[in-house]
Amino acid sequence: MHVTTLTLAFLTGLPSAIAATPYSTWMASSSLARKAAVDRRYVSSVLLEGIQKAAILHPNSTLLTHASNSISSLVDSAGTVTGWNPTAYSLDDLRVGNNILYFWNAGGRNNTSKYVNAVKSLRSQLDHYPRTPTGGFWHRDPVYKNQMWLDGLYMAQPFYATYTSYFDASNTTAWNDIALQFDLIEQHCRNKTSGLLVHGYDESKTAVWADSITGASPHVWDRAVGWYFMALVEVLQVYPKESANYAKLQGYLKTLAVALAKTQDTAGGWWLVMDDPYPGKAGNYIESSGTAMFTYGFLKGVRTGLLDAKYRTTAEKAYKLMLSKFVKTESDGTISWQGTVEVGSLNSNGSYEYYIGVPLSPNDGKGVGPFISASVEYETWKET
């Protein structure tokens, strides 16, 4: 259904019209109505990607124009991203590169476009980005020196891989470097028993939370795992299938899919702190952004042939829970999103008490964006 029908429903109060609106466009249009912030930060980028996907699946010029104009507004005529500092190193700042690449590609790959200069500038930062002794990108300099977080794999690697596929597809050094980032996370963060991954690791083993032998943080935080799950799915969309790394990365994805299916709560969601014995413990709860990310990863993974079709059952159970638990219909006909934890950072002691003590953030783009993307995948499946 087009946004014009949704707008009419707002004005006339027709519940049948609202109920017929796909959740992807309904949540996207609700975000526009709430005037969600538009900036170069990763939260805005993730939300705008969801809006763009909804607008493509259910042709909607209002939503697509908003996403396109928002990204355009962040890049000046010379191709400089607003506020971009090539010597300020944070993987979070690279996430907007994916949005820019999408609109450059969708617009016909005009090589005189300002977007080309923008993505080349973002990509070139990786050539002098600080790394751990074994080659992993620091999460941020200098605050998280020698630390790799699962979050950072999503922020940088899909952009790195998509850029390489568009501009430098024969560069095996780049493809190997992309795989290396996942290899390091797997070596240090994967629990071989549960199949889950802890939030991150410190290669120097000096962080207060770092294990003295592995450097790993102590807990499995759901949103970090969600970022990582999506990173694998997205990178594998463009990674060369003839490379031995492709099968290895897909193996990482499949192993994580098994672990996620096993740790799904009976109601359909996933706990904020996922490692035993914490699910069900006092203070822990089913968290919405991680649940949305896992749902998206399962559905897109199945649709694109990366995962077995059996995981649609896992995803559908989660999706139905999200609709009943986290999506709230407001009096003005918009819908809002609940249950997303505000932040999770290893700039802490990394304890269970830290994670459960972080407040929830209503209508947070870190949950809204993945929910819209998950809805697009769910609606694609059901419509076909």
Active site residue 151: yes
Structural element, H or E, at residue 106: helix 96-106
Domain containing 251: what range?
3-383
Whether the CB-CB separation of 299 and 377 falls below 8 Å is answered with yes
For residue range 322-334, list pLDDT tens digits in order. Answer: 999 999 999 999 9
Domain count, the chain: 1
Q: Which of 151, 183, 222, 364 is catalytic?
A: 151
For residue range 136-155, list pLDDT tens digits in order. Answer: 999 999 999 999 999 999 99
For residue range 300-311, list pLDDT tens digits in order. Answer: 999 999 999 999
In terms of C-beta distances under 8 Å and separation of at least 24 residues, what long-range contacts does 329-333 make, across chains too?
Answer: 329/18, 330/30, 332/10, 332/33, 333/6, 333/9, 333/10, 333/13, 333/18
pLDDT tier for residue 384 given thresholds of 50, 70 and 90 = confident
Domain CATH code at residue 219: 1.50.10.10
For residue range 19-54, list pLDDT tens digits in order. Answer: 479 999 999 999 999 999 999 999 999 999 999 999
